[in-house]
Structure 1
Amino acid sequence: MQLQRSSSQDGELQFHYRWQQQGQTVDFSFQLPEQSVQQHLSSFRRYSPQLANTLMRQALQQELGRRNTAGMQVELPPTGSPFPLKVKARRAADARELQQQLTAQLQQARQDYLQQIYHTELRLQPNRQVIMVDHQRILADSLQDLLPVAGALQQKFPYTTTREISQFLLDWLQRIPYQSLNERSQSSAAGFLPPLQLIQQHRGDCDSKVVLMAALLRLLLPDVPLVIVYLPNHAVLGIGMQSQSSDQQLRLDGQNFVLADPTGPALQPVGEITARYHLYLQPGIANYRRL
C-alpha cells in the first residue's frame, strides 16, 4: 500500500492511500486537523506499577495526616513494595475499621491513576484480574476526532452494507504495518496506539487496529453491536451482523458476532481469523468486552 502524507497551510494533515485489490486500484483519502492529531488522548500512558505504588502511598499519607490515629499503628510496606498495609490498635474493631477505610483510599487512588492513563482492571477467564488498556473508553473518546475519517468513508460509500464497509476497513487496516508483539513485552500498552496516533505513525498492533476499526464502524453504523475479543497475545473484533455459512462466529449473551481481524499482514476477509485461535472461541472461555 502506498501512503502519501502532506500538510496544508491551514493546519490540515492530508492522508492519501492507494492499493491494489483484486486487480483494481483503490484510493482512500481524508484530512485531519494537525492540532487534533497532536492532542489526541494526550493523557494516555503506559501503566507503571512503580508509579501506581507511589501515588497510592502519597494518598495514604495524606489520608493519615487528616485523621486522628492516636493509639493506633499503621505499618506500610517498604517503598516500592506492593500493599496491603497493616493496622494495629488496642481494640480490634478500631483496627479493622481504620484498615477498611485506608484500603478504600488506596483503591480509589489506584483507580484514579488507571482512569487518568486510560487503563482499567478487568477479570478475564480463568479467574484472572488484569490491568489493561481501556479500549472501550478510548473508542468513545476518539469518536469526535475521527469524524473526518468517517466522513470520507461516508462519501466513498453512501450506500453500503455492514459487511461491505467492514471488508473495506479490513482491506485498509491490514495493509498498515503491524507493530511486533516484542515491543509490548514491558507493558500492556507498550504497543498500543490510540486511533489518530496509529494513523499518524502508520503502524499499529492488533488491539490498536481493532479499536480504530470499531470506532469508525460506530460512527458509520451506530446501531451495530461490537465486541473486542481477547485471545492469547491477540485481539479481534466481533461484529453483530448477518452471518454467512463460512464465517467464524462467536455467540455471546444470546447474540452471534462475526469475527474480523484487522491486524495483518495476512489479508483475511470478514469472518476469518487464524486457525490457532479457534480453540479459544468457546462460550465461557472467550474473553470479551462490549465496545
Structure 2
Amino acid sequence: MKLFQLMILLSCFSSLLMAKQLKFNKVINDNQVQFHYLWLDQDQQQHALSFAIQKTAVFNDFRNFKAFKSQRAQRYVNLQLAKTLSQQPLDGVQLKFLPASTEFTITIKAESALNIRQAKEKIQRMQHQLMQQYLADNFYHQFVNYDHSTAIKPDHLRFAQDSISHFNNVKIAVLSQLANQDARTVINYVLSFVQAIPYATLASRVTASGAGFNPPLQLLWQNQGDCDSKVTLTAAILAALLPQLKMQLLFINNHALMAFNIPSQGQERTVTIAGQVYVLAEPTGPAAMRIGEVSPEAEFAIRNNRYYSEAFINTRSL
C-alpha cells in the first residue's frame, strides 16, 4: 500500500513539473533588438536561444491595436454611413439623420412602403459591410462560439500570419540546434520555449474583446502573455519553422490551446476536425507539457465539443 501511494505521489509530481524561464534579456543594438533566453524544457533540460528582430518591427508592428469598444465601432459605422448616404442618396426616399448621445437613427420617408422597405434593407447591408470593414481594419473578427453565441475577438490567425516574416532569425537560431530533427521534436522545443515565458491571466474572450492580448512581437518585448497571445506566438514561430505543418487554434472558456496534424503516439490526446486527426498541445504553461498532453479541463472541453477552432493556413508556403 505504501509503495502504491508513493507511486501515485511521484506520478502527480511529474505531471506538475513547471516550465521555468531561467534568464531573459533584451538589448537594443543599432537597428535591432537582441533577445536572449535560458529555460528548462519538459525534461528539465536547459536550453539557450538568442536571436535578433528588427527594431522597427518590434516597436511598430500592430502598434495601433487596441481593445475593441463597441461604442467606438458603432460611431465609426454611423459616420461612414451618413457620409456615404449624403454623397450617394437613395432613389425615391428622403433620409433624415438623428444623432444623439447614445443612439443614431435614420428616418425614412417615401411615397410607397416598398421604397421604404428596400431602403431599410440597403441601409442594413451597408451597416453590416461597414462594421465588417472596421473589424478587419483593426484586426478583429466576429466568431460563433461552440454554444452558438456570437462575439468579437482579435483575429489571431491574421496576427500569426502577418508575424511569420519577423521570425526568420528565430528559425535560423532554432534549426541550428535542431538540424535534421523531426516535426515532433521541433514542436516540443517551441512549446517549451513559449511555456517558459511568464503567463498573464486571460481576460474574458467574449466580454473583454482583446483587452490584454499581446501580438507576437509585443509578447516577446514584454516577456509575458495570456493563453491567446501565447497560442498566436506559437503559431507564428512554427509556421516559420515548419511551413507545411497543419495547425488548429482551439478556444475554450478562458483558455486556448493548439492541435497539429501529425501522427499521434501512445496515449496522446487528439481531436478530429473536418475528418482529420490532430494531436493536441498546450503552449500556455506554466505546466511543462509535451505535444499530446493537455490539462483535464481542456480535455473535458474538447471531448464535449465545448470549443471553437480556427484552421491556420500558412499562405507563405502556398
Same fold by TM (over 0.5)?
yes
Give the alignment's TM-score, normalised by structure 1. 0.91
Counterpart of 1:126? 147
Pair 75,275 (structure 1): closer, same or farther in 2 beyond 3 Å: same
Pair 23,45 (structure 1): closer, same or farther in 2 beyond 3 Å: closer
Pair 110,71 (structure 1): closer, same or farther in 2 beyond 3 Å: closer
Pair 1:279-2:300 in alignment: yes
Moved more, 63-72 or 11-20: 63-72
Pair 1:149-2:170 in alignment: yes
1:172 match: secondary structure: helix
Q: In structure 2, what residue type is equivalent to 1:240?
A: N
Counterpart of 1:95? 116
Moved more, 254-263 or 185-194: 185-194
Aligned partner (choices 207, 211, 217) of residue 228 of structure 2: 207
Pair 189,78 (structure 1): closer, same or farther in 2 beyond 3 Å: same
Q: In structure 1, what residue type is equivalent to 2:60?
A: Q
Pair 85,245 (structure 1): closer, same or farther in 2 beyond 3 Å: farther
Moved more, 68-77 or 45-54: 68-77
Q: CA deviation at 1:233?
A: 1.1
Following superposition of structure 1 onto structure 2, how do residues 220-235 of structure 1 map, counting pairs within 5 Å? 220-235=241-256
Q: CA deviation at 1:58?
A: 0.3
Q: In structure 1, what residue type is equivalent to 2:208?
A: S
**Alpha carbons 2:97, 2:105 under 8 Å: kept:** no
Pair 171,84 (structure 1): closer, same or farther in 2 beyond 3 Å: farther
1:159 match: secondary structure: coil
CA offsets 1:163-204 (integer angstroms, 9 cap, x no match) = 111111111111111111359796221121111111111000
Distance 2:107 2:263 in 1: 55
Give the alignment's TM-score, normalised by structure 2. 0.84
Pair 86,225 (structure 1): closer, same or farther in 2 beyond 3 Å: farther
Pair 1:18-2:38 in alignment: yes
Distance 1:52 1:185 in 2: 16
Distance 1:193 1:18 in 2: 22
Q: In structure 1, what residue type is equivalent to 2:185?
A: E
Counterpart of 2:192? 171
Counterpart of 2:49? 28
CA offsets 1:48-78 (integer angstroms, 9 cap, x no match) = 1011110111012112312157754557574
Distance 1:144 1:20 in 2: 27
User: Where in structure 1 are there 5+ consecutive unaligned residues?
Assistant: none
Distance 1:167 1:268 in 2: 8
Identity within the alignment, %: 29
Pair 180,283 (structure 1): closer, same or farther in 2 beyond 3 Å: closer
2:68 match: secondary structure: coil
2:198 match: secondary structure: coil
Q: CA deviation at 1:265?
A: 1.2
Distance 1:195 1:264 in 2: 16
1:112 match: secondary structure: helix
Distance 1:268 1:219 in 2: 22
Q: In structure 2, what residue type is equivalent to 1:142?
A: S
Counterpart of 1:245? 266
Pair 1:39-2:60 in alignment: yes
**Alpha carbons 1:7, 1:13 under 8 Å: kept:** yes
Distance 2:141 2:123 in 1: 21
Counterpart of 2:212? 191
2:34 match: secondary structure: strand
CA offsets 1:110-138 (integer angstroms, 9 cap, x no match) = 11211111001112222222111111111
Pair 84,250 (structure 1): closer, same or farther in 2 beyond 3 Å: farther
Q: CA deviation at 1:91?
A: 0.9
Which fold has the larger relative contact order, with Cα–Cα distance below 8 Å and residues 6 or more apart in sequence?
2
Distance 1:73 1:102 in 2: 11
Q: CA deviation at 1:90?
A: 2.9
Distance 2:186 2:255 in 1: 23
